Structure 1
């Protein structure tokens, strides 16, 4: 049975004057995405599906160039909608994110509800599964990636399964059984241990 990988974009160039969906990869993020190409699991990927946010597209394009594949964009794979607040300084962002996961049926400060973001990302992944016989790389974001991982592992929404800080992680599942193979690992493992 084919395997699916959910890959989160690595570190980004933060700019409070640029809308978050338009942020690109930082030099460190780009280097980590390139280091991902040396991982043994990458060679089996036969399809790449990405969020349409710039940081995800840049990550997917690095993978696609190596594998000589096209990148399929899916608008609804975007990160949880936080446009109501825009950029938040890191401590404030973390506090709001804690509430987002802790109260999934509520809109926290105008953000998309966690339960809705989960339903959206699960629906996008299921739509892609239905038309694929190859290993798939989904390239996206940590918040909705965590919500997907929780769904696949049968857990309720919480932040306990959140990806490690900084992004640039992945998890894998068996497409046929929808069973998680492993949780979050750095995309550039074991090189990430030296960062």
Structure 2
């Protein structure tokens, strides 16, 4: 199947997409950045190939974490695109705690978003993670022609921080993606400087339906 065959759509004012990886194989004995997609997560990513929003992609940039690369590869392979991997687009650095049980993780994540200028249990500060992801997106957009669509593939935490920046909103977990991952939003590259992306564009949408 050729790139975007049968799915070409009329593009709106947005020209960028940010997609989070879907479900992963959780293994407490493996560093979180090395987790891979579960069968469910891989299946959901493949269903994303049917969504018209991805049909006109010209570039794909992924975080260097395995689960993000595996998600991005689904689209790069199908559409015949080079996959650019950027290790600085990783999720917020949580290496100080490593794997946390779900309930404990949720409490620490709440504190991470709730105190963005404080390092919670040694985690990377939310304000620093936001500055990092905004900078990396800007670096890639500088090299990509303005009339070509870009898919950034990454993570829920930094994706939410980028979303807050694009919308001109204070960092707040209420802008986080739904549980499970595998959600995306769209934005125009100008919003990276102007911080005025429309809220409907920034609404999280599931990759698989």
For this structure pair, what is the TM-score category when the shorter chain's length is used for normalisation? Answer: over 0.9
Q: For the Cα contact (< 8 Å) 1:2–1:176, is it kept in 2?
A: no
Q: What residue in structure 2 maps to residue 62 of structure 1?
A: 74
Q: What residue in structure 2 maps to residue 158 of structure 1?
A: 172
Pick the structure with more strand per residue: 1
Structure 2: give runs of 5+ residues left out of the alignment: 1-12
Report the secondary structure of 1:164's partner residue: coil
Q: For the Cα contact (< 8 Å) 1:24–1:55, is it kept in 2?
A: yes
| Residues 67-110 of structure 1, C-alpha deviations (whole Å, 9 max, x = no match) | 10011011110000000000000000000000000000000000
Following superposition, the deviation at residue 176 of structure 1 comes to: 3.3
- Greater Cα shift, 74-83 or 1-10: 1-10
Following superposition, the deviation at residue 2 of structure 1 comes to: 6.0
How many pairs are equivalent?
Answer: 189
**Which ranges of 4 or more aligned residues in structure 1 deviate by more than 6 Å?**
none
Match of 1:88 among 88, 91, 100: 100
Equivalents in 2 of 1:52, 1:183: separation in Å? 25
Equivalents in 2 of 1:182, 1:157: separation in Å? 14
Report the secondary structure of 1:33's partner residue: helix
Q: For the Cα contact (< 8 Å) 1:3–1:136, is it kept in 2?
A: yes
Equivalents in 2 of 1:90, 1:60: separation in Å? 26
Report the secondary structure of 2:62's partner residue: strand
1:3 aligns with 2:23: no
Match of 2:86 among 70, 74, 77: 74
Equivalents in 1 of 2:40, 2:18: separation in Å? 20
| Residues 34-75 of structure 1, C-alpha deviations (whole Å, 9 max, x = no match) | 000000011111000000000000000001011100110111
Equivalents in 1 of 2:143, 2:19: separation in Å? 20
Say if 1:101 and 1:54 are closer, same or farther in 2 by CA, change over 3 A: same
| Residues 96-151 of structure 1, C-alpha deviations (whole Å, 9 max, x = no match) | 00000000000000000000000000000011111112100000000000000000
Equivalents in 2 of 1:87, 1:54: separation in Å? 16
Q: For the Cα contact (< 8 Å) 1:24–1:58, is it kept in 2?
A: yes
RMSD: 1.0
Equivalents in 2 of 1:15, 1:4: separation in Å? 32
Q: What residue in structure 1 maps to residue 208 of structure 2?
A: 188
TM-score by length of 2: 0.88
Match of 1:148 among 149, 162, 178: 162
Match of 2:113 among 93, 101, 107: 101
Q: Mapping of 1:131-142 within 5 angstroms?
A: 131-133=143-145, 134-142=148-156
